[in-house]
Structure formats: C-alpha cells, structure tokens
Amino acid sequence: MGGIPASMGVLGLFVLAGVLAGGLWSTYQRGLRVPTAVLALATALALAFAIMAMMEVM
C-alpha cells in the first residue's frame, strides 16, 4: 500500500519499458544486432520490474 507515489513509480516503469521497446524496434529494423540485444534485455528488465512493482502496489 504505497499510495500515489508508488503508483506513479509503476507508471514510470511502464513508460520506460515502452520507450525502450520503441528503441528496440528501431534498432531491429536497422539490423543492428548488439544494440538490439542490449535494448531487448533492458526492455525485459523494465517490464519485469514494472509488473513486480504493480503487484506490490496492489
């Protein structure tokens, strides 16, 4: 039960995951392998943290 600040943190993590996913798609379309792998890992971590934080808030 974190209230509004915790909810904003969850929202921020989901926004971060979305921005990273956009960058991931862009690098994938350009055919850049290493940045795509790095962004895929970062996106997965951000999404996992967002889901875990959301479960904690609920």
Total domains in the chain come to 1
Q: What pLDDT is recorded for position 1? A: 55
| pLDDT, tens digit, 9 for 90 and up, residues 1-54 | 567 777 898 999 999 999 999 999 999 999 999 999 999 999 999 999 999 988
Q: What are phi and psi of 33, to 5 degrees?
A: -75, -50
Which domain covers residue 29, as residue numbers? 4-57
**pTM of this structure:** 0.84
Cβ–Cβ under 8 Å, residues 7 and 57: yes
Q: What pLDDT is recorded for position 58? A: 60
CA atoms within 13 A on the CB side of 20: 21
Q: What pLDDT is recorded for position 16? A: 97
